[in-house]
Amino acid sequence: MSLPAAPGLTGPLVTPERLGEFFAPRSIAVVGASDTSGWARFVAASAAATGFRGPLIPVHPAHRTVFGRPAIPSLRDLDEPVDLAFIMAPADAVESVLDDAGAAGVRGAIVLASGYREAGDDGRLREERLAARAAEHGIVLLGPNCLGFVNAHARAAPFALTVPQPLIAGPVGIALQSGALASVVLAFARSRAIGVSTLATMGNEAMIGTIDMIEYLVRDERTRAICLFLEQISHPARFALSAEEASSAGKPIVALKVGSSPAGQRAALAHTGSVAGDDAVVDAAFRQLNVIRVASIEELLSTAALLGCNRWPRGRRMGVLTASGGACDIVADRASAQGIEIPAFAPRTEAEIATHMPPFAAVRNPLDVTGYFLANQRTSALTVIDRALDAAVADPGLDFVLFAGMTLPDTRPRDETLAALIDERIAWLGERIATAPIPVIPLAMTCVDVTPYARDLLGKRGLHLLGGIELGITALGHALRWLEARAAGGEGRPAVVSANGRPGGPAGWPAGPWSETAARALLARHGVPVVPAELADCADAAVRAARRLGLPVALKICSAQITHKSDIGGVLLGLATDAQVRDGFERVRAVGQAVPGARIDGVLVTPMRTDGVELLAGARLDPAFGPVLVVGLGGVWVELLNDTSLRLLPADAGQVRRMLGELRGAPLLTGTRDTRPADLGALADVISKLGAAAISLGGALRALEVNPLWVHGDQIEALDVLVITGHEGETRTERTR
Amino acid sequence: MSLPAAPGLTGPLVTPERLGEFFAPRSIAVVGASDTSGWARFVAASAAATGFRGPLIPVHPAHRTVFGRPAIPSLRDLDEPVDLAFIMAPADAVESVLDDAGAAGVRGAIVLASGYREAGDDGRLREERLAARAAEHGIVLLGPNCLGFVNAHARAAPFALTVPQPLIAGPVGIALQSGALASVVLAFARSRAIGVSTLATMGNEAMIGTIDMIEYLVRDERTRAICLFLEQISHPARFALSAEEASSAGKPIVALKVGSSPAGQRAALAHTGSVAGDDAVVDAAFRQLNVIRVASIEELLSTAALLGCNRWPRGRRMGVLTASGGACDIVADRASAQGIEIPAFAPRTEAEIATHMPPFAAVRNPLDVTGYFLANQRTSALTVIDRALDAAVADPGLDFVLFAGMTLPDTRPRDETLAALIDERIAWLGERIATAPIPVIPLAMTCVDVTPYARDLLGKRGLHLLGGIELGITALGHALRWLEARAAGGEGRPAVVSANGRPGGPAGWPAGPWSETAARALLARHGVPVVPAELADCADAAVRAARRLGLPVALKICSAQITHKSDIGGVLLGLATDAQVRDGFERVRAVGQAVPGARIDGVLVTPMRTDGVELLAGARLDPAFGPVLVVGLGGVWVELLNDTSLRLLPADAGQVRRMLGELRGAPLLTGTRDTRPADLGALADVISKLGAAAISLGGALRALEVNPLWVHGDQIEALDVLVITGHEGETRTERTR
């Protein structure tokens, strides 16, 4: 499958094929390298740390040798082109270095310098020039303002930070929108012996973007799971496509997306803005795209390692084997919090395990094999817990086994007999786990470094140890949800409509709130049933309308300039007689006329609706992901509980139906004694049409909100409608990092 | 302050003074030691690992030497008494070993054997005999079924597991109700360089209990924070006292209490049972006692180390110093989740920091000093982040500084100049942090092992590194809540009324649900206003009652045998005419008469109450903590949202007022447009009296529930009352571990 290229001038250059070449350079030039440059020393050390086998050529106009290697004055002095130039020159000099690189036939470049987009408008122009210049020369460029990358399989690390040693080559690919975090990520990966394929620091993404990196990692055979540190998602539509591709390829994306601390309220006139804040939209979008969202670096890598290093469970029924009753209790608590089941062992499993256990010990799931086996000197390779594993993997009632029995001494025992027994045991475990009918997930009891002894011993047998009960079970919860969503096929990829990328809706929308009549008309045009209403311009007309519509009625001042109608007394409910309507009309009009600058369209007369359930249904334009639909029960359910469900638009009736099911208050729609159960199919259809109405406003959508949307059995009506539009481009400016 | 001794025969022996002696033995005998005993080898290795300086004497009837030391046949053969005997003999032989120990003047013993309480009734008797025998001989006993202890300061480790090396002596005291977890706990402590004072595995607690251990650690000068792993709390009243003592002494208790996975429903007839399950009560009790509850081993130790190793912040305003923009974002997100503020720096702080920063960098809180300082070779000891620290600690708007700038190389650099610069820097940091006006919390970026190099370098300067952003900020959240609760003085220690320890209420309570009239009378006697009601035995009487009480009325079948009245049609609401009342009476009575075995007291006539807010207020007897009060809003708030607040009883009106404030639905009591604001003072008073009514039932209380408790302004009435009592001793049997 081929994907649309990145937008802009430089798009066609960056393809997964070119990136495959870019991330596996056979020769590297370090431009601006000097003995006193900290950066250059890092790059030289990284090359050594990863065992880089190609030439690493210092380029500096003023030095003959740099870190003991002969230097050349310019890239133009290369005898033959290098695959990659790591450019450490100051921002002012980078473009001319690119010219040199182009002339020398260099095909890839990393730019370290800052002073680009993150430095304001001048910097932005400089960044555009940089990308254009690289494209002119056919050079693929990472950065600027980045620290390079590490490719453990290709043993290439043009990387201006320390590479913690040893770097283990493995299945986890990593893209980071923060360069300095790379050393933290690699430090944790090293400590837990998590193997890395390619890690890249993305910098300003002038040419190679995070999404390009995802597409490269999806195609990279060595990568089986993808970790992202995200500060922003620039092209949500492409992000959605690449996430879908990753899921199809069976490569989970695990993302640490920052920005969950509450930012400013947007579109504060509507509830929709406060309950569908940017971060809630990210949550919803990631769920729709089956991207695993995590809260910490440790969770990021542990989850990716779990999915990248182990066979995948088919279900939630977990066997647990430990040598500690306390650990069983902690595992049970954590598993319960993640909805992971710990069913009883089958009788046959229990009987088989019992033959290996001390007589006083209870045989049950979770299993504590007790410390009994420690009482005597060790004479055989396998211990009780290994026998228990052998039995448990054959249990037909289990989907996988969590095996907390891989504890090893800190170092290889000096007693060779013992050391040999351990070697034999781990070999047996590696083989048993590889051939077991169900996956076995080895778990360390706590999150401490895997010792070099354990790393070598386990690594040789393809065994990976999850880092502790807490991180391990959290990762398992993520993994199981990801697998389930993948198996269910999801709701179909959302057709992300970007706020930025969109050509814009019909011109001429007003900037600000609409009058209610206009808003009602918009909804009606899209097939959303709206409560009958008549606009009255005098008390007599109001009375006539009330009689036609049926008493009692509600009166509402109608003016685009008045949004908080109830707060100023612009809404009256339950007027049951002509006199009340007449009197009410005058009061409501007076209230409206007292608002400075308000143009009064009239007073809207609508019949009262009682019983039934009131919902909130709305949409707003997210600056990254485009239009977003919000559904919730009305009143306290939104105000106090924030009990809402979000989806990227468009959302069909089936998706809306699932949204309704996700509400904590869902039983109120179906289950109470007092009200008729809502026709959920009809309701979902109406809300889906409301979504279409919102989409029709294009990039001008600020908020479209029905509150309440009244539901009584199969009667559904929008009782109050608010539409706010704004000028295109009124979205946030991009963040710098 | 002196505390009541543990109940039972053996109480007076176990005092903090005796435990001080017990946990610092100068000589140890290992009874049952042989060269092939795994346990004995562990004890010998542990002694070596901790640098035990006293004699370690093997005792075995059949061996002359054990692990290279001369053995004696029996404790009676000791030349002079040892302080402690570690008894590894099988359970059958332990009592006679105790006789030997007594004869030899040994004052302390650890019993490893299992086969006691955890093995059923015979074992329980054996355990009682064991404790009695030890007491007879004046021997303080830890276990049975335990693995001993480690005292890092006293360099004593009669401990039958591996002690991870090096064991660092420090401020964290630990009591574990699971022996095998000790090695996990010590492994994590070692990895994070967390110093331990005394760690004890509690075993069956035949004599020394977890609470004794808390009291010992409170008095132990070396201990500044206390970690507990709890499977059960046997004496909640004493636990409460010791927790209060710990808090007064400024020693936080951090507890990993297992059992949060949902267990069986109790008292399922009442809502109170399902919303106040055992684990919810533990949560409530710990909050009242200011015991920090954590979910993992890592959180347990990190939180204790934070509070034990650092000065305590006075507030929530945090300065953040890092060398990574990504880390700033993660810290901000995590801090926001914990309610920790990151205010702007004062202008003076900002200006001072700016003088050290590269020109392009933004100076703000959280601060990213950028990697700029890496660009050049290091020539001075202090880096930008150290200068920033120097400025930030003087910022009047901050309560503490989170300092993520202590990154060190894996090992001491071979370049002596560089190594000396680092030494100088860490010395400066140690000094600066010790003398800073506000606390500085050093933070590692991720949870990996502290290297030996860093451990020595930082340890020498009294610096402790919190283990990663995620664990660190979680621990900070715990610490700040603990400090705030301590400063607020709490709600006063709850007078815990244990289910077990209590002499029992007035005899003669029925076993099962009460009739509503009896239940109403109980509440009325305690001053709880109950909706007026008359019990009618015929339709005419019902009509007369309805006229007296005022129409419309509700009718309710009244029978102790019928509890789910509404479900079978035994409740009719809103009967507005004589005819409706007459007809309703017959229907309700017929429904009641159709219930097999139900003795019908009559039909209860009560006036309808509309408007207002409905609450749930109830109490149940927790098997560990005694009577517990539950308060919540009624209906969906309990059914769908489980929005309740819990307190151990008794609870005065002030406490109940705070409970009301904790409800998510609290604004419904005070803030909606439609209803009169509730008189919270009066409401709290009523609920407090309801609590007193529950206490009056003593150990017979199963459930006492008012649902709904109707509140309309200052009108408060119990509309429906359910009381269930049971025979004493109907509490769960103790768990074995």
User: Using one digit for the tens of pLDDT, what is the confidence trace for A91-132?
Assistant: 999 999 999 999 999 999 999 999 899 888 899 999 999 999
Helices (H) and strands (E) in chain A, counts: 23, 29
Residue B461 and residue B244: Cα distance in Å, rounded? 33
Whether residue B562 has pLDDT greater than 90:
no
A296, A254 contact by CB (below 8 A): no
Using DSSP bridges, classify how beta strands A466-467 and A440-444 pair: parallel, antiparallel or unpaired. parallel
Which token pair is A439?
């996956």
Instruction: State residue B623's pLDDT score.
Output: 81
Q: Is B184 an 8 Å CB contact of chain A?
A: yes
Tell me the pairing of strands A84-87 and A108-111: parallel
List, as one string, the DSSP characters of B53-94: -S-EEEE-SS-SEETTEE-BSSGGG-SS--SEEEE-S-HHHH
* pLDDT tens-digit readout, B341-399: 999 999 999 999 999 998 878 899 999 998 776 766 678 899 999 999 999 999 999 99
B176 pLDDT above the threshold of 60: yes
B interface test, pick of A37, A88, A258, A737 with most B CB neighbours within 10 Å: A258
Report residue B49's pLDDT band, with 50, 70 and 90 as the boundaries: very high
pLDDT tens readout for residues A164-219: 999 999 999 999 999 999 999 999 999 999 999 999 999 999 999 999 999 999 99
Confidence of residue B267 (pLDDT cuts 50, 70, 90): very low
B568: contact with A, CB 8 A cutoff:
no
Chain B residue nearest residue A342, CA to CA? B261
Dist. CA A147–CA B475, nearest whole Å:
32
Whether A45 has a pLDDT exceeding 90, the answer reads yes
Residues 6+ apart with CB under 8 A from B656: B629, B631, B647, B683, B684, B685, B687, B688, B691
| CA neighbours closer than 13 Å in the CB half-sphere of residue A120 | 4
For chain A, say whether B610 makes contact (Cβ under 8 Å).
no
Instruction: State whether residue A165 sits within 8 Å of chain B by CB.
Output: yes
Each residue's pLDDT tens digit, A594-622 = 999 888 999 999 999 888 889 999 999 88
Distance CA B707, CA B705 (A): 6
Residues in A touching B298 (Cβ below 8 Å) = 446-447, 468, 470
d(CA A187, CA A166): 10
Q: Which of the pair, B475 or A713, is modelled with greater confidence?
A: B475
The 10s digit of each residue's pLDDT in B376-390 is 667 889 999 999 999
- Judged by CB atoms closer than 8 Å, whether chains meet at B330 and A299 is answered as no
Model pLDDT for residues A530-587, shown as the tens digit of each residue = 999 999 999 999 999 999 999 999 999 998 888 778 888 899 999 999 999 999 999 9
Which 8-state DSSP code applies to residue A579? H
Predicted pLDDT of residue B499: 46
Q: Provide, as residue numbers in chain B, all residues whose Cβ is less than 8 Å from the Cβ of A187.
A: 445-446, 448
Residues of A in contact with B332 (CB under 8 A): 258, 261
Find the closest chain B residue to A40 by CA distance.
B375
Chain A's closest residue to B375, CA to CA, is: A38
pLDDT at A8 over 70: no
* pLDDT of B237 higher than 90: no
Tokens 């090695």 correspond to what residue?
B183
Which chain A residue is nearest to residue B374, measuring alpha carbons?
A: A38
**What is the secondary structure of B473-504 as a DSSP string?**
HHHHHHHHHHHHHHHHTTT-------TTTS--
Which of A220-224, A647-651, B431-435, B461-465 is predicted least confidently?
A647-651
pLDDT for res B276:
62
DSSP state for residue B720 in the 8-state scheme: -
Is the CB of B165 inside 8 Å of chain A's CB atoms? yes
Say what the pLDDT of residue B262 is. 61
Is B606 a residue whose pLDDT tops 90?
Answer: yes
307-326 of B, contacting A, C-beta below 8 A: 323-326
C-alpha dihedral, B637 to B643 to B647 to B650, nearest 10°? -10
Does A297 contact B469 at a Cβ distance shorter than 8 Å?
Answer: yes
Q: Is A333 within 8 Å of B258 when comparing Cβ atoms?
A: yes
pLDDT digits (tens, 9 = 90+) for B91-127: 999 999 999 999 999 999 999 999 899 888 899 999 9
Is B180 touching A (CB cutoff 8 A)?
Answer: yes
- Identify which has the larger pLDDT, B67 or A147: A147
Burial of B149 (0-12, 13-18, 19+ CB in 10 A): buried
Residue B489 burial class via C-beta count within 10 angstroms: exposed 0-12, middle 13-18, buried 19 and up: exposed
Using an 8 Å CB-CB cutoff, list chain B residues near A664. 640-641
Report the distance separating Cα B110 and Cα B33, nearest Å: 14
Mean residue pLDDT of chain B comes to 89
| Per-residue pLDDT, A732 | 35
pLDDT of residue A351: 97
Q: What's the count of helices (H) and strands (E) in chain B, helices before strands? A: 23, 29
Chain A residue numbers touching B447 (CB-CB < 8 A): 188, 191, 298, 447
Chain-chain contact of A470 with B299 (C-beta, under 8 angstroms)? yes
Rounded to two decimals, the ipTM of the complex is 0.91
User: Which of A41-50, B1-10, B32-41, B370-379 is the least confident region?
Assistant: B1-10
**Comparing C-alpha atoms, which of A314, A308, A307 is closest to residue A479?**
A307
- In contact, B518 and B723? CB cutoff 8 Å: yes
Task: For A403, list phi and psi in degrees, rounded to 5.
Answer: -110, 100
Please check whether residue A282 touches B, CB under 8 A.
no
Number of A/B CB contacts below 8 angstroms equals 222
The shortest C-alpha distance from B526 to chain A (Å) reads: 34
Banded pLDDT at B505 (limits 50, 70, 90): very low
* Predicted confidence (pLDDT) at residue A250 exceeds the cutoff of 80: yes
On whether any CB of chain B is under 8 Å from the CB of A379, the answer is no
- Chain A nearest-CA distance from B121, in A, is 13
Distance from C-alpha of A563 to C-alpha of A571, rounded to nearest angstrom = 11
pLDDT in the model for residue B390: 97
Q: Would the pLDDT of A735 be above 70?
A: no
Give me the pLDDT at residue A491, please.
Answer: 61
**Cα Rg, chain A, nearest whole Å:** 32
Task: Quote the minimal CA–CA distance from A552 to chain B in Å.
Answer: 19
Question: Is there a contact between B261 and A335 if contact means CB atoms under 8 Å apart?
Answer: yes
Contact with chain A for residue B668, Cβ under 8 A: yes
Predicted pLDDT of residue A550:
92
Supply the pLDDT for residue B537.
93
What amino acid occupies position A143? G
pLDDT of B20 higher than 90? yes
A41 with A167: CB under 8 angstroms?
Answer: no
For tokens 């105000």, name the residue.
A639
Q: Give the distance from residue B112's alpha carbon to the nearest chain A alpha carbon, in angstroms.
A: 11
> Nearest by CB to A258, which of B180, B330, B371?
B330
| Residue B23 falls in which region: left (phi positive, over 0), alpha (psi -120 to 50) or beta | alpha
The closest CB to that of A36, out of B36, B119, B376, belongs to B376
Of A510, A414, A436, A545, nearest in space to A702 by CA: A510
Percent of chain A with pLDDT over 70: 91
Q: Can you tell me the mean pLDDT for B662-690?
A: 86
Cβ neighbours, 10 Å, residue B96 = 12
- Give the global pTM: 0.91
The string of pLDDT tens digits covering residues B581-597 is 999 999 999 999 999 98
Listing DSSP states for A301-323 in one string gives HHHHHHHHHSPPPSSSBEEEEES
Decide if B329 and A258 are in contact by the 8 Å CB cutoff. Answer: yes
Q: What is the pLDDT of residues B130-173, one digit of tens each?
A: 999 999 999 999 999 999 999 999 999 999 999 999 999 999 99
B-chain residues near A260 (CB < 8 A): 333, 336-337
Pairing state between β A701-712 and A721-725: antiparallel
pLDDT in the model for residue A439: 98
pLDDT for residue A265: 34
Task: Tell whether A229 lies on the interface with B, counting CB pairs under 8 A.
Answer: yes
What's the whole-number mean pLDDT along residues B69-88?
95
**Which residues are within 8 A (CB) of B359 and not within 5 positions of it... i.e. 6 or more apart?**
none
Residue with the larger pLDDT of the pair B110 and A273 = B110
Judged against a pLDDT cut of 80, whether residue B564 lies above it is answered with no
Region of residue A175 (phi > 0: left; psi between -120 and 50: alpha; otherwise: beta):
beta
User: What phi-psi label fits residue B321: left (phi over 0), alpha (psi between -120 and 50 degrees) or beta?
Assistant: beta
Contact between A262 and B336 using a beta-carbon 8 Å cutoff: yes
Q: Which residues of B touch A39 (CB under 8 A)?
A: 374-375
Shortest alpha-carbon distance between residue B169 and chain A (Å): 19
pLDDT (0 to 100) of residue B734: 31
Distance CA B386, CA A542 (A): 73
Peptide bond into B359 cis (omega under 30): no
Shortest CA distance from A566: residue in chain B = B673
Tell me if B336 and A190 make a contact (CB, 8 A cut-off): no
Residue A506 banded pLDDT, cuts 50, 70, 90: very low
Is the Cβ of B159 closer than 8 Å to some Cβ of chain A?
no
Mean pLDDT of A6-11: 45
pLDDT of residue A731: 38
